[in-house]
Structure 1
Amino acid sequence: MKKYFLTFLIILISSYADAQTTVSGVKLDETITVEGKKLVLNGAGIREKWWIDLYVGSLYLPKKSTNGTEVVNSTEIAAIKLDVVSGMVSAEKMMTALDEGFLKSTNNNIDPIKDDITKFKSFFNEKFKKGDSFTFANVPGTGVVVYKNNVKKGSVDGQDFKKALFGIWLSNNPADKDLRKSMLGM
């Protein structure tokens, strides 16, 4: 009987270990809680340039979805998490990438959210290092709340800004098509 129990215990532990998601060395939580709401990991992938992994992008939603347009346009709580896996990611490089991403996601029409983008970028004035984690959580009634290493940096109100920000990764014209596909669990 002990033998069967031990075998069962090993299978149970192995199953639990397999249920965890690890991308480029980053162990991702299957669920996170934002403002008291539980979100599930929808998907995750790697943003790379020149074959170098830069960060792991993950998407957390109330329920899984493969429809990027719906996620971008949704007013529900949702979060995008970026885990830096390269020392080559700096605040300056991230600001340049965000500028390019906002232009793409808005079809070169950033004027209506220009002040929001400036406010958002002000949350990134500290030095970046490998292992840093950024979370952009859309919180109904509050806007997009920005966290660095689980410390709240501030928020930006407005659905248009949220759509542009989430569109960087999830629109039909994303910064990285493979990452979009992975975040949408496709």
Structure 2
Amino acid sequence: MIRLLSAVLISVVVALPAQALKVKDTEVADTLTLNNQELVLNGAGVRSKFFVNAYVAALYLPAADQDANRIVAADEPMAIRLHITSGMINAKRMSESTRDGFVRSTGGNTAPIEKEIETLISAFAEEVKEGDVFDMVYQPAAGVTVYRNGEAKTQVQGLHFKQALFGIWLSEDAIQSSLRKALVNS
């Protein structure tokens, strides 16, 4: 299933930007193409923790939107791209940070999606290193597919899960308020 989906969605990874935004020395594409639908860069920013710039995140939507709550709730194609920018990030830290993000995003109620969270985190099983790029792509019919450096790693079904995932960066209790602002106000 993942291989079939990977072939169908391969354009996500090979989409070339007409222009690119530069965020902390990281080129961020202006667009991604998903099943012949162009998604536009809504915003991009840096995830920092303890004075370390961990990654650059970019949010792609069918059309620009500054309402984070509406984006989280939407049942439409979208993607979050994470450019790992620090050698301090590894598989364990990425997994722990993702779990923490889900706790915050769900107000501490991760029980209904615990299995799905573990499936998503399996995409970080191989060592995460500086330069890796993770795409978390949501399509209503397919759910969330996680790509690592262009290769599909896992897929998770469900709008509720997608809402919790995107809520990591966009909920009222997002992992970093300045990153949330950058994703919706750029």
Provide the TM-score with structure 1 as the length reference.
0.88
Correspondence for 1:118: 118
Correspondence for 1:105: 105
Unmatched runs of 5 consecutive residues or more in structure 1: 1-18
Correspondence for 1:82: 82
Correspondence for 2:67: 67
Q: Secondary structure at the match of 1:184?
A: helix
Q: How far is 1:183 from its partner?
A: 0.7
User: Quick one: distance in 2 between partners of 1:172 and 1:105?
Assistant: 8
User: Quick one: distance in 1 between partners of 2:108 and 2:114?
Assistant: 11
Q: Secondary structure at the match of 1:130?
A: coil
Number of residue-to-residue matches in the alignment? 168
Q: How far is 1:34 from its partner?
A: 1.8
Q: How far is 1:77 from its partner?
A: 0.1
What letter corresponds to residue 28 of structure 1 in structure 2?
V
Larger Rg: 1
Q: Secondary structure at the match of 1:99?
A: helix
Correspondence for 1:15: none
Q: Secondary structure at the match of 2:40?
A: strand
> Does structure 2 retain, via aligned residues, the 8 Å contact 1:35–1:139?
no
Identity percentage over the alignment? 39
User: Quick one: distance in 1 between partners of 2:20 and 2:81?
Assistant: 16
Provide the TM-score with structure 2 as the length reference.
0.88
Correspondence for 1:144: 144
Alignment root-mean-square deviation, CA: 1.0
Correspondence for 1:174: 174
Correspondence for 2:9: none
Correspondence for 1:16: none
Correspondence for 1:26: 26
Q: How far is 1:119 from its partner?
A: 0.9
What letter corresponds to residue 163 of structure 2 in structure 1?
K
Deviation above 4 Å: which 4+ runs of structure 1?
none
User: Quick one: distance in 1 between partners of 2:102 and 2:154?
Assistant: 19
Correspondence for 1:58: 58
User: Quick one: distance in 2 between partners of 1:148 and 1:35?
Assistant: 18
User: Quick one: distance in 1 between partners of 2:50 and 2:95?
Assistant: 19
Q: Over residues 13-43 of structure 1, what are the superposed CA-to-partner deviations in whole Å (9 max), with x where a residue is unaligned?
A: xxxxxx5310111111110112322100000
> Does structure 1 retain, via aligned residues, the 8 Å contact 2:122–2:154?
no
